[in-house]
Amino acid sequence: MDSILINKWLDQFENRQPIFNHIFLFIIAAAFVVSDWMYGAFTFTELIMGMALLVLILSGKYRIHIHQFKWILAPIIIISLHTVYLFNVQEDFALRVSVIALIKLSYFLFLIVGIYNYVRVQKLEKEFLIWNNLMAMIILAIGSYIAIAVYTEINFDQNLPYEFLLKFTRLDGHLYRKDIPIVRMKSIFQEPAHLGYYLNSILMVNLLNKNHIKITRWISTFLVIGVVLTLSYSSVFIMLAILCFWLLRNGNLLKGKIQWSSSIFFSLILIFFVIFLFRGLIYTTLIQRTIEIATGTESSGYERLIISWRYINKETYLFGYGFLQSPGMLWNVFAYVFTELGLIVFTLYILNIGYLMRFNIPIALVFILMNFAKGGYLSSSYWFLILLVIIYSGQHYESVYLFRRKEEQLEK
């Protein structure tokens, strides 16, 4: 009787598969734009994706490849042993923090693999990318409104309502510096660099995917403009790197054999118009900052690339301080991995990125740059980037699973 009820329940999802697919993809795309929204100890992304994972399981659509299950267990076991060892040798080791971090890591691993398999099995790569681009356009529209509202509030004492859009994140963070009240676009994210990180993640797979998916140039054009308007140094640099890799992959562009169309022409005109319109802001926040970094009067680049490694020493370089036990704030993922997990795990992390290069060198290089753009390997935005990377890197996929419905097993 129970088996019949379960089969009827699962058949309901099968009969409405196309609708279910789009609803599920929309939920995933929407979840990651609220990665900076906090509710208690959790981000909105973690809560929404937890419900999405539950829906996958209840609908019988959750799958794990046998080899994937081994790859999931490997980091969990390695970090578990690493945690037990450090707990026994370090007096001030915060075991509870590391255990919670390990649970969170396991959650993200099973979640990302489940979504990856669902998208690939249902052949939804194009639909998923379209939903992410549509969501990015909505975020840009909201960001433009908020930036205009903040600008008019500062300069004209006009009070357009926008605080309600930032209820679960920072109300400030729009300005370049307090002494230079330049308004930067951050939309519903905590700061402009986080918006740039999100937009670059989507721009990367739009231009560099190996799935032969073409997204209209207008959308990528608006993504580029959105990154520029964040006036985030790291975001603009990564965006330029993505465009360079795209040019290198499309050799005809470099050889002058490009077939000009009205969309390409007007896209370039629009980008140059925005740059011209905001040339003063761009000079102050990007060009002048480059000069300051080069002359040593601006230290943020030095902190991100050099100071982030300050806690590594001869006592901790091999095993680190422990999972989520960093003594202070760091500014890139590489530094976090080395500082907290030590040289051995850091080497394994580098080898995995090297493995990614077998499938898509441009995306692997952008992934490396993104590791320097934002710290925190347990942040929702970082795992969103990983999800996009593994779906659109062009990696070979096999449909052999550890978990599947009995009917599917019999068919095999």
- Distances in whole angstroms, Cα of residue 20 to Cα of each of 4, 15, 26, 115, 279: 22, 9, 10, 14, 46
Query: Is the CB of residue 198 less than 8 Å from the CB of residue 138?
Result: no
Amino acid at site 350: I
Closest CA to 62 of 119, 107, 127: 119
pLDDT tens-digit profile, the chain (412 residues): 445 555 555 555 566 677 888 888 999 999 999 999 988 778 899 999 988 888 888 877 888 888 888 889 999 999 999 999 999 988 889 999 999 999 999 999 999 999 999 998 888 999 999 999 999 999 999 999 999 999 898 888 778 898 989 888 888 877 776 667 788 999 999 999 999 999 999 999 999 998 778 888 889 999 999 999 999 988 999 999 999 999 888 765 555 555 656 667 788 888 888 888 888 888 888 888 878 777 766 666 666 777 788 888 888 889 999 998 988 888 889 999 999 999 999 999 999 999 888 888 999 999 999 998 887 888 999 999 999 999 998 755 454 455 555 445 444 4
Distance CA(34)–CA(245), nearest Å, equals 29
Q: Given phi > 0 = left and psi -120 to 50 = alpha, else beta, which region is 388?
A: alpha
For the chain, how long is the longest CA-to-CA vector? 76
Question: What angle, rounded to 10 degrees, do the helices at 262-277 and 217-230 form?
Answer: 10
**CB 164: neighbour CB atoms within 10 A?**
6
pLDDT given at position 400:
46
Do the beta carbons of residue 66 and residue 398 sit within 8 Å? no
C-alpha closest to that of 78 among 90, 89, 86, 88: 86
Q: What pLDDT does residue 411 have? A: 47
| Rounded Cα gap, residues 75 and 113, in angstroms | 14
Q: Which amino acid is at 405?
A: R
| Chain-centroid distance, C-alpha 363 | 13
Task: Give the C-alpha separation, 101 to 86, whole Å.
Answer: 15
- The phi, psi pair for 152, rounded to 5°, reads -70, -30
- 3-state SS string over the chain? CHHHHHHHHHHHHHHCHHHHHHHHHHHHHHHHHHCCCEECCEEHHHHHHHHHHHHHHHCCCCCCEHHHHHHHHHHHHHHHHHHHHHHHHCCCCCHHHHHHHHHHHHHHHHHHHHHHHHHHHCCCHHHHHHHHHHHHHHHHHHHHHHHHHHHHHHHHCCCCCCHHHHCCCCCCCCEEECCEEEECCCCCCCCHHHHHHHHHHHHHHHHHCCCCCCCCHHHHHHHHHHHHHHCCHHHHHHHHHHHHHHHHHCHHHHCCCCCCCHHHHHHHHHHHHHHHHCHHHHHHHHHHHHHHHHHCCCCHHHHHHCHHHCCCCCCCCCCCCCCCCCCCCCCCHHHHHHHHHHHHHHHHHHHHHHHHCCCCHHHHHHHHHHHHHCCCCCCHHHHHHHHHHHHHCCCCCCCCECCCCHHHHHHC
* Helices then strands, each counted (H, E), the chain: 18, 4
Asked if 189 and 198 touch (Cβ cutoff 8 Å), the reply is yes
